[in-house]
Structure 1
Amino acid sequence: MSNKRISMSDIVLGQPLQWDIYGNDGNLLLRRGFVVSSTNQVETLIERGLYVDGNQLDQARDKKPFLKVVEQPSVVRIITQVRNELRTLSYNLTPEIQAREKFLALAKQVVIATFLDADVALGCILLHQEGNYSARHCVDSAVVAILIARALKKTEEEIIFIAAACLTMNLSMLRQQERLQEKSDGLLPEDQELIFRHPQESVQQLMTVGVKDEHWLTWILHHHENEDGTGYPLKKKSAEIPQNSKIISIADRYCARVCSRSYRKSMLPNAALRDILIGGKTTVDLMLVTLFIRELGTYPIGTFVKLESGEIGVVTSKGATTTTPNVHSLIGPRGAPLLAPIKRDTQKTLHAIREVLHRDQVQIRFSMRQLWGDVASQ
């Protein structure tokens, strides 16, 4: 038998092998027909050598073009695309462009991305803050709202409409929001008035371009109302406010707090959660906030932390409890960057979280793909 070497790109993930695969020592590793389901399996094979029977290889190539690895969907790419398309759509609304269908299509993409890998979707909020703020904030809020809605076991259709409401909640002030984002000297009376009016004006703008769904419009109209009646624009109280408006409101508040501004640092994620819980005792639905914290954890995904070992890393997934997430260390205890991220369980005493850090305290460049693999490719 004449063996020929193949590479990782010669294997199609999720499809049966076209040939038997042998290692460097000539021993059979996998039989033809075996389905390789992950890049980790391929990498393990590469370490042992990838050889096939030359005759089998030639026969497979004669039957059809040689196959390549199927690219895995990327949550980061989906979210980036939605951010860009949302900005373009929102800035160019006319009654002729079927805005309702396009906003719903974008909402579905955010739902798909969040369901595909919720950890990566949440990670984008803190680790992927590039691009236009106004569109990014709406997409980030949609991710959080989707997770809360899913925890409440809402239907997929309702979740899509909740996401659509998040994407369009600030529609009437998107352009001005960029200007307000850069202000460092406080809001002028006309700026404050713009903010107070935006729920009603966003609803009116959506109706003008063909959105007639009462629930969608109602959720936007009430997303700045407070439990105690101090919100706007209608001073509604507790039971008068739709639950989905409350979900959108909590997601909106959290994402606004953890985003950096030109005139102030972003809040640390755990401090943002505490601020919403403690500072909003009379203004937010505490049952929903408790659920929200349970879903995000005390240290939300994307949070930078220092461990008791002295290592510095980033929270990448939930752990056994809300206070003990899994962390990937990026910097060793002596301050040197690690060759590759190392997963740490913060339940263990040596790897317990000592403190939370701002991003600018972590002097290392890395990609989300290094933490989560291809599903976080940019």
Structure 2
Amino acid sequence: MPNLVRIAPGALIIGKPLPWTVYDADGNVLLTQGYVIQTDVQLEQLFERGLFYPRRSDTPEPEPEPEEDIRPRNPFSDYPELLRTLEVTLQSVQNQSPDAQRRVIGLANLVARCCREAPDPCLALVHLYSVEPTAYEQTLFYAIICYFTAQQLGMDDKRVLVLLGAALTANLALLPILDKLNQSRRRLSDDQRAIIRKHPILSVAALERAGIDNRLLLKIVSQHHEQPDGSGYPEGLSGRDILPEARMLALAERYTAMITRRAYRDRFSITQARSELAEASHGLHDRSIHDALLKAITAYPPGSLVRLANGEVAVVTHRASGLQGTQAQAIMSPTGNRYIGAFRRDCSRPEYEIQQVEVPEMLPSMDYGQLWSFDRH
């Protein structure tokens, strides 16, 4: 089947839902998006059978201008294409393609539209796929979190799009080594530390070479590792010298890093990550960005697994808003058995009150989009 390639080592992660559907050599679907590999034996069998997945082109050809897509956004079915588009977009910047700026703007608009039309499912992507995300997945998560933080602060749409463009490109210079760094148990080498500290400047230089000249975007990228107390890099800026958008991106990166499993540490629970961010805001002259991110995500964000008062395990589907409490779908019984299907739960009712956030190392296999009543077909 054309446009399919053999699965590379490391592409499948135990305990994490597949971000794309897997095919065999004849193009038959073998594993659907959402399936979770449970054991090393399963991994070995899959690699031995020579499974394939849709190619992400290393040398993308210029694409014709697409017709306007007016379909309602489904973040779960859009997810593989979002990741592919992100990779192609960043390659266009690295290759200094004439259409690089158009691609960055187009992707920022697409991410914004997904977040606007399907806000809770977009946040669910961040929390369901955060077990061990790739560099491209992390980058997409930064943009999603930035969008909701900015919305909470009432930022105007044009400025939000610039922020998303920055979030999607800020770590351009780190991409070649980011997955390796996340999977390494060794201490950083001097060369790695140097790249990390220089990557905001290197990313800005790459963007400028590609003809991306939005001064606000470039400034966000250059400042996204500066800290209010002056301890950041590369310039050691502090306080009001740091753009609010740069601080939003820094917090989005920090939150994503905490809820992500790394080779050298376990994942933080959402509760722990929120507590860390809240504590980090103490003593700041302006806590509004920390508060906005925490309020946007909420204590029980969509995609998080929670234990209910009746003992069930459920996936949160909708944040509390207005008169409606947190909504969830129960997927496991109090005895730990997987339900066939899922059952809607209103967590404002005493019997379905959320008791705690679960931090599973192994997510259950299922089509998560169905929890939001999305139909892939």
TM-score tier, shorter chain, comes to 0.7 to 0.9
Q: Is the 8 A contact 1:230 1:283 kept in 2?
A: no
Q: Look up the equivalent residue of 1:90 and give its one-letter code.
A: L
Bigger drift between 89-98 and 136-145 goes to 89-98
User: Residue 344 of structure 1: SS of its match in structure 2?
Assistant: strand
1:324 touches 1:345 (CA, 8 Å); kept in 2?
A: yes
Structure 2 distance, partners of 1:259, 1:85, is: 23
Aligned to 1:20: none
1:289 and 1:134 map into 2 onto residues whose CA distance is 24
Secondary structure of the residue aligned to 2:254 is helix
Residues 120 and 329 of structure 1: CA distance in aligned 2, closer, same or farther (over 3 Å): same
Contact 2:124 2:303 in 1 (8 A): yes
Label 1:276 to 1:102 Cα distance change in 2 as closer, same or farther (>3 A): same
Over the residues paired in the alignment, what is the CA RMSD in angstroms?
2.5
Q: For 1:366, give the aligned amino acid.
A: M
- Is 1:270–1:300's contact at 8 Å kept on the other side of the alignment? no
Looking at structure 2, the residues matched to 354 and 118 of structure 1 have their Cα atoms a distance apart, in angstroms, of 24
Counterpart mapping for 1:22-171 below 5 A: 72-91=72-91, 93-129=94-130, 133-171=134-172
Q: Which residue of 2 aligns with 1:235?
A: 236
Equivalences, count: 307
Distance 2:284 2:256 in 1: 17
Q: Percent same amino acid at aligned positions?
A: 21
Equivalent residue number for residue 252 of structure 1: 253
Structure 2 CA distance for aligned equivalents of residues 215 and 79 of structure 1:
28
Paired AA for residue 88 in structure 1:
V
Segments of structure 2 that go 5 or more residues without pairing to the other structure are 1-69
Is 1:229–1:238's contact at 8 Å kept on the other side of the alignment?
A: yes
Partner of 1:278, secondary structure, is helix
Q: Quote how far apart the aligned CAs of 1:253 are.
A: 1.0
Higher helix share: 1
| SS of equivalent to 1:108 | helix
Q: For residue 65 of structure 2, what is the aligned residue in structure 1?
A: none
User: Which SS does the other structure have where 1:236 is aligned?
Assistant: coil
Measure, in 2, the Cα distance between the counterparts of 1:86 and 1:238.
32
Q: Taking structure 1 as reference, are residues 239 and 91 closer, same or farther at Cα in structure 2, changes over 3 Å only?
A: same
Equivalent residues in 2 for 1:171-250 (5 A)? 171-250=172-251
- More contact order relative to length (CA 8 Å, sep ≥ 6): 2
Farther off after superposition, 158-167 or 276-285: 276-285
Report the TM-score when normalising by structure 1. Answer: 0.75
Q: Deviations over 1:35-54 (max 9, x none)?
A: xxxxxxxxxxxxxxxxxxxx
- Which is greater in Rg? 1
Which residue number in structure 2 is paired with residue 366 of structure 1? 366
Bigger mean CA offset, 245-254 vs 283-292: 283-292
Matched letter for residue 115 of structure 2: T
Cα contact 2:332–2:339 (8 A) shared by 1: yes
Aligned twin of 2:304: 303
Query: Deviation string for 1:71-124 (max 9, x for gaps)?
Result: 753222333312122223324522333211111111111111111111010100
**Displacement of 1:321 after TM fit?**
8.2
Give yes or no for the alignment of 1:333 onto 2:341: no
Residue by residue over 1:306-325, the C-alpha shift from the partner in whole angstroms, topping out at 9 and shown as x without a partner, is: 11111001111112589962
How many angstroms apart in 1 are the aligned matches of 2:124 and 2:217? 27
Matched residues in 2 for 1:132 and 1:318: separation? 23
Tell me if the contact between 1:313 and 1:331 (Cα under 8 Å) persists in the aligned partners.
Answer: yes
TM-score of the superposition, structure 2-length normalised?
0.75
Is the CA contact 2:320–2:327 (under 8 Å) kept in the aligned structure 1? yes
CA, structure 1 residues 132+125, in 2 after alignment: closer, same or farther (shift >3 Å)?
Answer: closer
One-letter code aligned to 1:82: L
Counterparts in 2 of 1:288 and 1:72: CA distance versus 1, 3 Å: closer
Change (3 A) 1:281 1:136: same
Confirm or deny: 8 A CA contact 1:346 1:352 kept in the other structure: yes
Query: Does the 8 Å contact 2:131/2:261 carry over to 1?
Result: no
